[in-house]
Amino acid sequence: MNTPKELRYSEEHEWVQVEGEKVRIGISDFAQSELGDIVFVELPEVGDEITVNEPFGSVESVKTVSELYAPVSGKVVEINEELNDSPEFVNESPYEKAWMVVVELSDSSEVDKLMTAEQYEEMIKE
C-alpha cells in the first residue's frame, strides 16, 4: 500500500496536500483498493463551501457508493473534471491523476489535526 510521506490523511481516508493557503484533496491508495473499481466520481462545484467531516461528494464503485468526507473546511476553487470521463484514475493513480478538489482553507489549523503518513499507516494496519 502506497502512503506518500509528504501528505496528511483523514480517518475517512482522504489525503491532503498543502499548497500554501490551499490544499489539494483525493482518496488514499488504501481507500481505492477497498472500494474496488471506481465507475463514477461526484464532486462539488467550484465556489461551493465544504465543511470538515461533512460529505462533499461521492465515489461509486462496482460494489458500493461511498461519501467523500471533507478533511478540512473551505471554499472549492478547482475540481478535477477529468474524473468525469476517467473515473479509473482513482484506481490507477490515486495521488496524482486522481486529485479531486483544491480548497482554499478557512482554518489552516484543521490541517494540523490530520494524521501523518505514519499514523495513517498504523490506523489501516488493523
Partner 1 sequence: MHKEDQPLIFELSTPGRVGYSLPEMDVSETDLSELLPEGFLREEEPELPEASELDIMRHYTALSKRNHGVDSGFYPLGSCTMKYNPKMNENVARFNGFAHLHPLQDESSVQGALELMYDLQEHLIEITGMDEVTLQPAAGAHGEWTGLMMIRAFHEANGDHNRTKVIVPDSAHGTNPASATVAGFETITVKSDENGLVDLKDLKKVVGEDTAALMLTNPNTLGLFEENILEMAEIVHGAGGKLYYDGANLNAVMSKARPGDMGFDVVHLNLHKTFTGPHGGGGPGSGPVGVKADLIPFLPKPIVTKQDGVYKFDYDRPQSIGRVKPFYGNFGINVRAYTYIRTMGPDGLKAVTEYAVLNANYMMRRLAEYYDLPFNRHCKHEFVLSGKRQKKLGVRTLDIAKRLLDFGYHPPTIYFPLNVEEAIMIEPTETESKETLDAFIDVMIQIAKEAEENPEVVQEAPHSTVVGRLDETTAARKPILRYQKAE
Q: Judged by CB under 8 A, how many residues of this single chain contact partner 1? A: 10
- Residue pair 77/99 in contact by the 8 Å Cβ criterion: no
How far is Cα 33 from Cα 29, in angstroms, rounded to an integer? 6
Of positions 4, 12, 22, 39, contacts partner 1 by CB under 8 A: 39
Q: How far apart are CA 84 and CA 61, in angstroms?
A: 14
* Distance of alpha carbon 113 from alpha carbon 120, whole angstroms: 12
Decide: is 62 part of the binding site for partner 1 (CB under 8 A).
yes
Site for partner 1 in 18-37 (CB under 8 A): 36-37
**CB 126, min distance to partner 1, A:** 11
List of residues contacting partner 1 (CB under 8 A): 36-37, 39-40, 60, 62-64, 87-88
